[in-house]
Amino acid sequence: MSIFWRRFRRNRLAVAGAVVVAFLFIIAIAAPLISPYDPNEIDRAHILEPPGPEHPLGTDDLGRDVLSRMIYGSRISLSVGFVAVGIATIVGIFFGALSGYYGGWVDRIIMRFVDIMLSIPTFFLILAVIAFVGPSIWNIMVVIGLTSWMGVARLVRAEFLSLKEREFVLAERALGAGNMRIIFSHILPNSMAPVFVSAVLGVAAAILVESALSFLGIGVQPPTPSWGNILTLGKDNIEIAWWLSVFPGLAILITVLAYNLVGEGLRDALDPRLWGSER
């Protein structure tokens, strides 16, 4: 563990990404305390007001404070990211563990299903499902999670195929341990490092998908603030209200970049092939 932290701290980009992620968490948790205004408070006297002392990031077409809406929007983005990735990780671990451990016809059926899912453009599949079940925050979380588990399943399968032939697993079998004990007590804990990295990278992807759905009008519905639906207002008023596009766009860019940097840093730090020089 000390080697892992030492390697991670040496990656300055990963540390910077972790600082940004921590900052976003603080903003999301403390939103009611730090938000200068109610995010849904309409002020017709300050419609489309540019950034200034009273409204640091300006106002939208209903006079609502953009900074307040972005602060509360960070809650939506982070919630969607973590819940969707949690669902995808659980489903991916389940199918990947079955496929890798049992092999044979179980492996063939699951992997062909994974291939079919991967052959369908994920974003268009999400669009179709959301159009059918209706846009809501919970539907978005579930749909993103259920359409993005295939990569986790492949990672877990590869780890199980490698680990199930190791000596410690063979020794457990010789001692009479059952399949469930071997899977959950011995193989799965030793295969979680790449899954953890994939989950961190998946949060960034889920945030990006949620923002795109909200931008298209089939994601988080107004008046609930989301970075994506603030961008939609920016599109409608691009010639007279540049701040409605620039600030939420930068928030999405910085957040996605931060999670990707943390994921890349974790992948390098968790790679045991790179630990030889650290001992």
Answer yes or no: are the C-beta atoms of 31 and 224 closer than 8 Å.
Answer: no
Q: Look up residue 211 and give its amino acid.
A: S
pLDDT for the residue 272: 59
Tokens of 115: 């291939």
Instruction: Indicate whether 271 pLDDT > 90.
Output: no
Q: Looking at the domain assignment, is residue 120 inside a domain?
A: yes
**DSSP per-residue string spanning 13-80:** HHHHHHHHHHHHHHHHHTHHHH-SS-TT---GGGTTPPS-SSSTT-B-TT--BHHHHHHHHHHHHHHH
Residue 72 burial (C-beta neighbours within 10 Å; 0-12, 13-18, 19+): buried
Which of 221, 239, 258 is the last residue before a domain boundary?
A: 221
> Do residues 259 and 143 share a domain?
no
Banded pLDDT at 252 (limits 50, 70, 90): very high
> Do residues 234 and 211 share a domain?
no
Banded pLDDT at 189 (limits 50, 70, 90): confident
> Do residues 93 and 9 share a domain?
no
> Do residues 174 and 227 share a domain?
no
What is the C-alpha to C-alpha distance for residues 91 and 47, in angstroms, rounded to an integer? 46
Q: Looking at the domain assignment, is residue 143 inside a domain?
A: yes
Mean pLDDT of 258-269: 88
What is the C-alpha to C-alpha distance for residues 209 and 140, in angstroms, rounded to an integer? 9
Percent of the chain exceeding pLDDT 90 equals 38
Instruction: Indicate whether 1 pLDDT > 70.
Output: no
For residue range 98-150, list pLDDT tens digits in order.
999 888 899 999 999 999 988 888 888 888 888 888 778 888 888 889 988 99
The boundaries of the domain holding residue 279 are 1-34+223-279
Q: Is 59 helix (H, G, I), strand (E, B) or coil?
A: strand
Q: Looking at the domain assignment, is residue 49 inside a domain?
A: no
Q: Looking at the domain assignment, is residue 188 inside a domain?
A: yes
Q: Looking at the domain assignment, is residue 64 inside a domain?
A: no
- Give every CB contact of residue 196 below 8 A, 6+ residues apart in sequence: 266, 270
> Do residues 271 and 202 share a domain?
no
> Do residues 150 and 165 share a domain?
yes
